[in-house]
Copies of this chain bind each other. A is one copy, B any other.
Amino acid sequence: MSNRGRTKSDKKNRQILEAAIKLFVGSGYHNTSMDEIAASAGVSKQTIYSHFSNKQELFKSAVQSRRSDFLGAELALDTEAPPRDTLRKFATALLKLLLSEDVVRTRRVCDAEAESHPEVAAAYFSEGPEHTTRMLSAYLKKLHDSGQLTISNPDHAAIQLLYMLTGEAQMRALLNQPVWTDEQVMDYLDSSIEMFMRAYAAQ
């Protein structure tokens, strides 16, 4: 009676997905075995195969279930506040997100599997960096339209700003290299935002 209306146990499904994503992003796709996932999820291996047809399917579902977690809620771009303040808040929140263990490891797995699981990498790209770029571009266009800055190509400007702010830090994180201190980061972000404002100052 308890399973009326559904064919599989939703609870176990969730358990499996959570264990899978944890192990996949922690150790990589090839380095994670179905046995480990079963043990970590507290179910038998056969139960996994009854929910997901094979390891590749499970990987896809697991990464997709995780993606929405990253659509950072704090990344809002406040159009009321002064651009400097808005951009500083945005950059700080974004960097914190991009440097978190979870995001770094998920990104590594998506990169590594980009050729064998193109849909996974494509989904990551469109809901991650591409989405952020679109948001930023729309914000910059508003700044242009309101005369606060002069930006003839907001798409280019958004890409310039985004990767200027995050590129180095993210590369260091992906390659597991020492990251800057908070003070250095703030210093760099501030000088980069100033540089951006100078380049696109209202005429």
Chain A residues within CB distance 8 Å of chain B: 28, 30-31, 108-112, 114-115, 118, 121-122, 124-125, 129, 133, 153, 156-157, 159-160, 162-164, 166-168, 171-172, 174-177, 188, 191-192, 195-196, 198-200
Contact = CB atoms under 8 A, between A and B. Distances in A.
Given A28-B112, A129-B171, A118 B176 contact: yes
7 contacts: A28-B30, A28-B112, A125-B171, A129-B168, A129-B171, A159-B168, A163-B166
Contacts of A176: 114-115, 118, 121-122
A31 to B, nearest CB: 5
Copies in the complex: 2
A194 to B, nearest CB: 9
A22 to B, nearest CB: 15
Contacts of A108: 111-112, 114
A46 to B, nearest CB: 25
Contacts of A163: 163-164, 166-168, 171
A198 B199 CA distance: 5
Contact of A164 (B31, B114, B115, B164): B164
Contact of A195 (B115, B160, B168): B160
A192 B167 CA distance: 15
Given A163-B164, A164-B160, A168-B163, A174 B31 contact: no
A83 to B, nearest CB: 15
A122 B177 contact: yes
